[in-house]
Amino acid sequence: MLQQSRTMTINKGTNGQNPFQVVGDQIDACARILKLSDEVVAILKKPARELHVSIPVKMDDGTTKVFSGYRVHYNDALGITKGGIRFHPDETIDTVRALSAWMTWKCSLLDLPLGGAKGGIICDPKQMSQGELERLSRAYIRAVYSFIGPEKDVPAPDVYTNPQIMAWMMDEYSVIAGKPSPGVITGKPVAAGGSVGRGDATARGGMYCIREAANRLGIDLDGATVAIQGFGNAGYHAAVLCSALFNAKVVAVCDSRGGIYNEDGLDADKVSSYKKLTGSVSGYPDTQSINGDDLLELPVDILVPAAMENAITAKNAANIKAKIIAELANGPLTPEADDILFNNGIHVIPDFLCNAGGVTVSYFEMVQNNALYYWREEEVREKLDAKMTTAYRNVFETSQEYGINMRQAAYVQAITRIVEVMQIRGWV
């Protein structure tokens, strides 16, 4: 089953902001704190390289359709690049650039020996058969073959792609290479060289951050209330884990078609089963209907944006009542919203920290592929916990030291490491 999409106009987000411009603004803010030179900022603001491809695919009706695809390597100072592949009808190069930048900061922040990348294809996978999706996936790999590889750039699943698609892509690369190449792709099925623990890694990593934040803020998670915007892969697993790990109460969830609220709490598995039958969480029995905007403003302890970019802006940030915002989505807050929330004392766990569990376990998958030795799920979770906990604590301490918000502190941590390596390598 394909992963849930963020419902949005991707090129400018739901609130008219180009995500790559947001990246530039965030880099500028970090540069002022660190007093970076213009030369360093210029490198940080530009992708190292990008590939645009046209992908002809034979459709089931006998016609040939040409799809547009992208792959961007943003910065490889720390090592080979890593990042997902998105299938979306509103995909744009600026979104891919922005996401590849965030992947760069994410890998640096988690102390991974990886640079950042991202890829995408403009398509509507909901309107395509399995055969068409397989032909598109294989054709994309043929188009970008020289641009990726186990020692160059390792893709992974993202919006509307999944382990099966990764398996097709891995197989196509292996056919062209003339040898088995499981290390070229992560997020594969476990039977094809994937890692156990990858399915809920993004949400689980976010839970470890929420735990650390609650400890520092003095919030008791036992019985704490949670609202989750987005009920795809990350949102669903977040709902399950909030209950399983903390005994917290998920009172509201939503997807692109609507939302539901019940002050007594929701059973994530039952809601998920209902959505599989109906296509949406909307209308789930014994709940109150609620839209996504209203969900954001509920008086809950923890708010988890796991859907759209630019969901919280200057227009609604002052209405947010949660004590902790855990960003499982990429870019759900605008810079203006960050300032408002920080001034209002709301603790934001920024996206490229909070949702870094996915790339961290993808890195673990790379390590296991290279070693030809696979870990138990308990080992994966222990190693993920250690990585996420260390990263959170470093960011929190930096925010306290500089008197800045958590996102700015995450940028300071990530970019400091990248700039240091750029200087050591003689780039600047």
Q: Residue 288 sits in which domain range?
A: 201-354
Note whether 216 and 184 are same-domain residues: no
Q: What tens-digit pLDDT sequence spans the chain (428 residues)?
A: 333 333 223 334 434 578 899 899 889 999 999 999 999 999 999 999 999 999 999 999 999 999 999 999 999 999 999 999 999 999 999 999 999 999 999 999 999 999 999 999 999 999 999 999 999 999 999 999 999 999 999 999 998 999 999 999 999 999 999 999 999 999 999 999 999 999 999 999 999 999 999 999 999 999 999 999 999 989 999 999 999 999 999 999 999 899 999 999 999 999 999 999 999 999 999 999 999 899 999 999 999 999 877 899 999 999 999 999 999 998 899 889 999 999 999 999 999 999 999 999 999 999 999 999 999 999 999 999 999 999 999 999 999 999 999 999 999 999 999 999 999 999 99
- How confident is the model over 154-190, as pLDDT tens digits? 999 998 999 999 999 999 999 999 999 999 999 999 9
Domain count, the chain: 2
The answer on 111 and 82 residing in a single domain is yes
What sign for the dihedral angle of Cα 121, 123, 127, 130?
negative
Instruction: Tokens for 323, please give them.
Output: 């004590």
Residue 262 lies in a domain: yes
Cα(148)–Cα(184) distance, integer angstroms: 8
CATH number of 259's domain = 3.40.50.720
SS3 sequence of the chain: CCCCCCCCCCCCCCCCCCHHHHHHHHHHHHHHHHCCCHHHHHHHCCCCEEEEEEEEEECCCCCEEEEEEEEEEEECCCCCEEEEEEEECCCCHHHHHHHHHHHHHHHHHCCCCCEEEEEEEECCHHHCCHHHHHHHHHHHHHHHHHHCECCCEEEEECCCCCHHHHHHHHHHHHHHHCCCCHHHCCCCCHHHCCCCCCCCHHHHHHHHHHHHHHHHHCCCCCCCEEEEECCCHHHHHHHHHHHHHHCCEEEEEEECCEEEECCCCCCHHHHHHHHHHHCCCCCCCCCEEECHHHHHCCCCCEEEECCCCCCECCCCHHHCCCCEEECCCCCCECHHHHHHHHHCCCEEECHHHHCCHHHHHHHHHHHHHHHCCCCCHHHHHHHHHHHHHHHHHHHHHHHHHHCCCHHHHHHHHHHHHHHHHHHHCCCC
pTM of the complete model: 0.91
Q: Is residue 60 part of a domain?
A: yes
Residue 372, in any domain of the structure: no
The answer to whether residues 218 and 187 belong to one domain is no
Q: Could you tell me the CATH number of the domain that includes residue 163?
A: 3.40.50.10860
Same domain? For 154 and 219 the reply is no
On whether both 187 and 210 belong to a single domain, the answer is no
Domain boundary residue, one of 354, 388, 417: 354
pLDDT at 16: 57
328, part of any domain: yes
Last-in-domain residue among 354, 372, 403? 354
Give me the pLDDT at residue 8, please.
29
Cβ partners under 8 Å of residue 33, min gap 6: 402, 404, 408, 412
Give dist(CA 358, CA 198) in Å, integer.
7
**Which of 330, 354, 378 represents a domain boundary (last residue)?**
354
Cα Rg, the chain, nearest whole Å:
20
User: Is the residue at 31 inside a domain?
Assistant: no
Residue 218 in domain? yes
Please check whether residues 132 and 155 belong to one and the same domain: yes
Q: Which residues contact 426 (CB under 8 A, 6 or more apart)?
A: none
In this structure, are 188 and 314 located in the same domain? no
**Strand pairing partners for 49?**
73
List C-alpha distances in Å: 50 to 6, 18, 77. 24, 18, 16
Is there a catalytic annotation at residue 118?
A: yes
| Pair 127, 244 in one domain | no
The end-to-end CA distance of the chain, in Å, is: 45
Q: What distance in Å separates the CA atoms of residue 313 and residue 310, rounded to the nearest whole number? A: 6
Q: Looking at the structure, do residues 259 and 345 belong to the same domain, yes or no? A: yes
User: Rounded to an integer, what is the distance from CA 153 to the centroid of its chain?
Assistant: 18
The span from the CA of 342 to the CA of 407, in Å, is: 10
Within a domain: 248: yes
Please indicate, yes or no, if residue 8 is contained in any of the structural domains.
no
Q: Is the dihedral of CA 218, 305, 121, 68 positive or negative?
A: negative
pLDDT (0 to 100) of residue 17: 73
Please check whether residues 252 and 153 belong to one and the same domain. Answer: no
Whether 168 and 283 map to the same domain: the answer is no
Which is the catalytic residue, given 12, 82, 106, 118? 118
pLDDT at 219: 97
Strands 347-349 and 249-255 come out as unpaired
Could you read off the pLDDT of 332-346 as tens digits, one per residue? 998 899 999 999 999
Pair 140, 55: CB distance under 8 Å: yes
Residues 6+ apart with CB under 8 A from 270: none
Beta partners for residue 344, in sequence order: none
Q: Are residues 234 and 114 in the same domain?
A: no
